[in-house]
Structure 1
Amino acid sequence: MGMNDWLSRCPLVAILRGVRPEEAEAIGEALVGEGLAVIEVPLNSPEPVESIRRLAARFGDRALVGAGTVTDPADCARIAAAGGKLVVTPHADPEVVRAAKASGMLAVPGFFTPAEAFALLKAGADALKLFPAEAGSPAVLKALLAVLPRGTMLLPVGGIDAGNIPAWRAAGAAGFGIGGAIYRPGDTPAIVAAKARALMAA
């Protein structure tokens, strides 16, 4: 399935920064139970590849599971071997995009300028992450969509919460990367489920 298929199921990408392998499945259950379909474990979390392996084994048929904060192209093979199907970067590196695609995964690299966006699409990006979204605005996203190829999916990430989702959505955002507004280290599955419900309503 393509990125479009997953985002049409649910436009929210849950970013589980700091999640530990032993809690990953319970948190995943809470998210999938609320209808989320994309789960990202940043590589600066404790034992991230093990968390990805557990999440992919348990939810791989129902959710797109992958890694965030990927900065080294060499990590892509490890992520794919663990069952990950998604690579998200914080920066505009076409090499990571190419490595992710070579490993058969979807690539959603971070960008902030039109030049970066076009270079990443040329490298094979499946969607683009506007990061940090706090430094931009829905108006910036709308202007980018006017010049990027038709059908380009832009996902603002950074400071996204239930309060600002509607404005970004109206500007044409295809989805949203949600970090602290959906999971912070120490959150129980019940807390995560409640946060997910509020975000889904938005």
Structure 2
Amino acid sequence: MSEATIWQPRSAWAGLAAPGRHGRQAAEPGDEAGVRLSLREGIGLATLIAAEGQEAALARTLSRSFGLPLPETGTAHFAGERGLVWSAPGQWLAVAGTREGLHGLATALRGLAAVSDQSDGRALLRVSGRSARAALAKGVAVDLHPRAFRAGRSAVTSIAHIGAQIWQRDEAPTYEIAVARSFAGSFWSWLAHAAVEFGYAVESGAGP
């Protein structure tokens, strides 16, 4: 009698991103990589689509239960790892540091919004470091200059012809990018090539 197969979760970045230093190596001890790529694993993601005529009520409920205001067009609001990111008119992406962090959201928003779990459907990556903006500017189809895109801004755009959602977490700058899981390989291939001249470090795990 054959043994039952036990399925194990597989990272969207498995087989693509090897932790460690890549590309241009340190010129001297202690020289940091120009780009840091943090693989965001175990993150909770869900799309919210407001029911007709319920956006104001949705905003009140989210403020009360999620602790964040509903972002206006092209913006994102975060408190630690919990956040809301504008996605389209009447649509937002809810983010939590763990999948459990979104439990109960669909129940709380019943009648106010359609809630669709995206935790397994998207691959999420954090990009930071002194050369993060320069690396991303090679393929991101929006102006990332601080006068146009600062902390708290978000965009639904394309990166190297791949549909993506990007938001800026702080002025360091630190960005987070979500792509469809099926495009993780193509996106990683582009990003690794874009960052190689600056030297990049890959970090596994959710990170702070």
Q: Please confirm whether the aligned pair reaches a TM-score higher than 0.5, indicating the same fold.
A: no
Which has more strand, going by share of residues? 2
Tell me the TM-score normalized by structure 1. 0.31
Tell me the TM-score normalized by structure 2. 0.31
Asked which structure has the greater RCO (Cα within 8 Å, sep 6+), the reply is 2
